[in-house]
Amino acid sequence: MKAKLKDWLQKGTPWIWFNAGAVAISIIMVIGLLLLLIARGMVHFWPSDVMEATYSPPTNSDNSNSTQIIGEIIETEIVLTTQIVSSGIPVESDKTMLERDLIKSGNRDVTGADFNWILTDYVSLKEYPKNMVTLERKEWGNLYGYLSAIKENDAVVRQTSINDDNYDEVWEEFGTRLERALAMSAEISEIEKNDIGQINYRMERLRLEERKLELEGLNSGQSIAEIDANREIADSDYQSLQGRLMELYERASRDSVAFQIANNQQIEIEMSEIVRAYRPNDMGVVAKLATYGDKVWEFLADEPREANTEGGIFPAIFGTVMMVMLMSIFVTPFGVMAAVYLREYAKQGFATRVTRIAVNNLAGVPSIVFGVFGLGFFIYIMGGEIDQLFYPEALPAPTFGTPGLLWASLTLALLTLPVVIVATEEGLARIPRSVREGSLALGATKFETLWRVVLPMASPAMMTGLILAVARAAGEVAPLMLVGVVKLAPSLPLDGNYPYLHLEQKFMHLGFHIYDVGFQSPNIEAARPLVFATALLLVILIALLNLAAVALRNNLREKYKTLDV
């Protein structure tokens, strides 16, 4: 028996099973994490049924405390009765465990809180009326209630109640007017963000040109006259757009709608404040899937609202991708050049060994240290000098002497530089010496051998380094908080205004967005599902970037597979 056990150990079978088990556990953990993110994040966009019930919580007095509850059931949990009693609720029950529901009751502008816990033992008359309406608003979150009236210029146009026969007709007219209001809101947004934004950009450029001429002592003559003429044209365009905006605002504020909410309260809302309206209890699976897709698309393509707890995250997606692309452009050539010098040109001695040790140690430096370095060197020193040399007319307002996309990309390029250097060096070391000698024997110079033979063969290793760099950089948050990322960016760093790519602008990032929504949000319950959904999107985005790099690396490996590199 001992001999068999010894032979079994010597063959390494336990280690094979140990490694296989470790891999299996890792795969299970990754799949479990993804399933958790999907279950807790993507369910947020499903148009859930809305409950109406009577809730009679226990009180310390003999008076009845019944109230009407309207809202979505978000989650259900079992808690100890003693825990409920210790929180100040006088529960009298023989049960040791009680069930409670987290209700998203909405209507925050009326009640002050749109999430509440209720004990299910004290809920009665629970139902799901088909006429119940869910409104998603630009402010104050969701509203749940019954449509009661449509108004135009404060005059009632159509009126209904919960059980009226004309409820569906009034609902259809409400939908028609809402579509018109949404179209006007989209036009208002287009004018404010694009048309007026372009005019403001032109006005700022003219101001800087005028300031530059003043600094050069040329603040008179034809140049100033041209600036004044262009300013008058821009001002005329602005006045025209402003008139159109006033007209649209007046038309958008014309229609309003009244709703009956919990406890027979009435609330009136302007149509222009509504984002989406639907009756979830009266919707089939197909209709709910259509609404679900619409809400997911809004999450991916729109801007955030309500302190980042509502709306979309497109600016964060765009900023993350743009920063990673710029970081890759910066880190790849410098990492490859450093690796080529260390492997191909540097004398292999004490200094080279120390340099390699320093590079390896640099990979273990905390990322916040790189952020402090980027803030001090890139922004304060380099950015300040760039402003003095190229943008004196904008001073004292900084252009590049402030956190922005360029400095964030360079900081993360420094952060990931050791990864690219080490991976490229390993690829260069695997190239057989005979390949270099054969190229030299055929008359090629050392540089030609390096450029046309060695580097193409080492390109898969370079791509491996880039993949690792992208995976780390895309998820970094700490250094970005110092060198360019913000909670909400007013505009994208890429637009139609010259020079089109604005490297000096601040930007949004998915990692920081997760931190902000998860830890800085004033409405934690509303923010929680968005944290999971955004985290899932960040994982998917990193995976897509890595898959693109892996596909390119595999293509290069296929091209040079005969050399076994």
Nearest-angstrom CA–CA distance, 523 and 209: 45
The answer on pLDDT for 551 being more than 90 is no
Cα 257 to the center of its chain, rounded Å: 33
pLDDT tens-digit readout, 365-418: 899 999 999 999 999 999 999 999 999 888 888 989 999 999 999 999 999 999
Paired strand residues for 494: 501
Give pLDDT, residue 485.
92
Assess contact for 184 and 252: CB atoms under 8 A: yes
pLDDT of residue 400: 92
Report pLDDT digits (tens) over 16-70: 888 888 899 999 998 998 899 888 888 889 999 999 999 888 775 555 578 889 9
Listed residue (38, 26, 22) closest to 539, CA to CA = 38
Mean pLDDT over 180-209 rounds to 89
Give the residue among 560, 550, 408, 398 at the shortest CA–CA distance from 477: 408
Q: What number of other Cβ atoms are within 10 A of residue 256's Cβ?
A: 21
User: For residues 418 and 466, what is the distance between their CA atoms, to the nearest angstrom?
Assistant: 11
131-170 tens-digit pLDDT: 999 999 988 889 999 999 999 888 898 888 888 888 889 9
Q: At what angle do helices 524-559 and 455-473 cross, to 10 degrees?
A: 180
Dmax (CA) for the chain in angstroms is 104
Distance CA 53, CA 66 (A): 10
pLDDT digits (tens, 9 = 90+) for 422-442: 999 988 888 888 888 888 888
239-293 per-position pLDDT tens digit: 999 999 999 888 888 889 999 998 888 999 999 899 999 999 999 999 999 999 9
pLDDT at 1: 65
Strands (E), 155-292: 155-159, 255-260, 266-270, 274-278
Q: Is residue 517 within 8 Å of residue 44, measured between CB atoms?
A: no
* Mean pLDDT computed over every residue of the chain: 87
The pLDDT value given to residue 564: 46
Q: What is the pTM of this model?
A: 0.88
Mean pLDDT of 553-563: 70
State the Cα–Cα distance between residues 286 and 57, nearest whole angstrom: 38
